[in-house]
Amino acid sequence: MGAGYDIGEMHQEINKVLSDNVAGRDKAAISYVMESPDGRWFVARLLENCHIDSALGLLRADGSVVMDTNAMLVQEGERRVGLVIKENILNMSDGLSLYHQMESESKTYNDQQEEIKRSIVSRYMKAEE
């Protein structure tokens, strides 16, 4: 090979070009997903499962939290994935509004689920009277 180029510089350029290509595809894909209600539903559930808005630890049936180191390390890895996805959404030109729309839709759904639970509990409580 000739001495006319810097191999380190060449590798840096290759990595940058390839990284930019991947980033472009990621941006297009997350935009596509966030444009539809089903896509926002999926992302909301994914972020929920990535623990980005909750404390780390194992939740017991009684509501207490166990601070297991191995489980917390796994959850922190999941959380990191969720934070990258959230960052990609918020970096979109309309990402903030789509993120808020996703949160609003998710809250509406969760409120509906809570109402269903209350209705079932109420029906059972009346049956015992």
Residue 39 has a pLDDT of 97
**1: which residues sit within 8 A by CB, 6+ positions away?**
7
Residue 112 has a pLDDT of 96
- Calculate mean pLDDT across residues 62-86: 86
Residue 44 has pLDDT above 70, yes or no: yes
The better pLDDT of the pair 47, 66 is held by 47
Element (H, E) at 66: strand 65-66
Residue 72 has pLDDT above 70, yes or no: yes
Contact predicate 114/108, CB 8 Å:
no
